[in-house]
Amino acid sequence: MLTCPVISDVSVERFKAVDVYAGWSLKDSIRTDSSSGGLFSELAEAVMQSGGKVFAATFDKNFKLLHREVVDSTDLAAFRGSKYLQGVCDEVYTQIATYLKQRVPVMFVGLPCQVAGLYGFLGGDNPNLLTCDLVCHGAPSQKIFDDYLLYLKNNGLSGFIGIDFRERQTSGRKTTIIYAKPEKNMWLNGTYDYYQQAFMRNLISRNSCYSCKFARIPRIGDITLGDYWGIGFKKPFFYDITKGVSLVITNSLKGNDILNKYKRLLFLEKRTIDEAVTKNPRVYKASNGDAGERQRFLADLQSMSITHLVQKYRLYPRLSFASRLRSYVKTMLGDRLVNTIRAVLKKRALRRI
């Protein structure tokens, strides 16, 4: 039976003191093709190779975000990357329940409210179920995303086959659309990027996101995956982070066991929860959006031109001085020289220890 995780309490056994890691896939191709460090892909592939089933979110050909079963490892690429909206996952709950009755191991990856919804549907935890919740900024609806895609298509940007909210070649976050013919990526700015900017400003998430009861420690999933924005802020981190770093939090004994089982596939370094929440407060508290401002924005979205909407709500990228400086240095010096400087600083620091 489907239950609403927002109004129904779900109880699963979790650590009082969680374990925190910085990590990434040891395969550069996976790491560079992922939003952060590629932990999802490695864990998912390992589970499938051991006979388990994996469920996660991906876009269909009409850009509807759906949870579905990952068929095989070659299918994983479609499930990578950040997707800034809430997908439909209720139909897969039945599939998962069927596999679990057959004692088939299952890995489910989703937003924390979706993980809680799965537990509610199953009536509790299951020894063959591994859940991974994602650190979530908020969850806009499919309808708002559909309206955004329609705006792009009506303003000359049609025929694209993919959309990426986390193109790493740009400074900060920029929406990128992907074309097959000719093969190219196009970064979006200004009015064309209003969806992401509104998302980051907490203007289009669901009302329940502003008081999310799953943004807490310990988290609802056996494992929490996210971006390690605060890496190195509390203590030095002497590794190249330009290819992406995953935040990994194990919240249960099952989560710890799985991570230890497959750690040969990963780089992992234990860190602290204080550092983990630095620059990423969504780990432990809900977005600080205003439900009233959200309502005003959604009303204006229906009645106002996008140009005026962007101006009224100042939907422009906001980069800190430090972010702009890092981007400038990287552009001027290039990745190779930046990595050389980082290696020299690492050696000097190690000599002082």
Residues 331-348 have pLDDT tens digits of 556 555 766 676 666 566
Alpha-carbon span 314 to 292, nearest angstrom: 17
Alpha-carbon span 262 to 37, nearest angstrom: 15
Share of the chain above pLDDT 90, in %: 70
Provide the pLDDT confidence category of residue 276 given band limits of 50, 70 and 90.
Answer: very high
Secondary structure of the chain: what % helix, strand, coil (to 5)? 40, 15, 40
Q: Among the listed ranges 75-84, 166-175, 304-313, 316-325, which one has the minimum average pLDDT value?
A: 316-325
Is residue 169's pLDDT more than 60? no
- Among residues 179, 131, 138, 122, which one has the least CA distance to residue 156? 179
* Range with the largest mean pLDDT of 6-10, 195-199, 288-292: 195-199
Q: Among the listed ranges 32-41, 272-281, 327-336, which one has the minimum average pLDDT value?
A: 327-336
Residues 131-153 have pLDDT tens digits of 999 999 999 999 999 999 999 99
Residue pair 111/57 in contact by the 8 Å Cβ criterion: no
88: DSSP letter: B
Is residue 242's pLDDT more than 80? yes
Exposure b/e, 97-125, CB count within 10 A at least 16 = b: bebbeeeebbbbbbbbbbbbbbbbbbeeb
Is residue 47's pLDDT more than 80? yes
pLDDT of residue 243: 87
pLDDT of residue 51: 96
3-state secondary structure of 184: strand
Q: Give the residue with greater pLDDT, 103 vs 244.
A: 103
pLDDT of residue 321: 47
- Among residues 223, 189, 205, which one has the least CA distance to residue 109? 223
Alpha-carbon span 66 to 346, nearest angstrom: 43
pLDDT of residue 1: 58
Packing angle between helix 112-122 and helix 90-101, nearest 10 degrees? 50
Alpha-carbon span 310 to 191, nearest angstrom: 6
Packing angle between helix 321-333 and helix 335-352, nearest 10 degrees? 110
Residue linked to tokens 């919240």: 251
Provide the pLDDT confidence category of residue 353 given band limits of 50, 70 and 90.
Answer: very low
Share of the chain above pLDDT 70, in %: 85
Average model confidence (pLDDT) for the chain? 88
Alpha-carbon span 295 to 299, nearest angstrom: 6
pLDDT of residue 316: 84
Pair of tokens at residue 277 = 């929440």
pLDDT of residue 112: 96
Pair of tokens at residue 32 = 């560079």
Provide the pLDDT confidence category of residue 38 given band limits of 50, 70 and 90.
Answer: very high
Question: What's the whole-number mean pLDDT along residues 313-330?
Answer: 63
3-state secondary structure of 60: coil
pLDDT of residue 171: 46
3-state secondary structure of 39: helix
Pair of tokens at residue 274 = 């204080």
Provide the pLDDT confidence category of residue 2 given band limits of 50, 70 and 90.
Answer: low
Beta bridge partners of 224: 133, 249
Domain boundaries, the chain: 19-138+211-283, 140-204+290-318, 324-353
pLDDT of residue 342: 61
Is residue 46's pLDDT more than 50? yes
Beta bridge partners of 271: 20
Residue pair 65/140 in contact by the 8 Å Cβ criterion: no
Residues 298-307 have pLDDT tens digits of 999 999 999 9
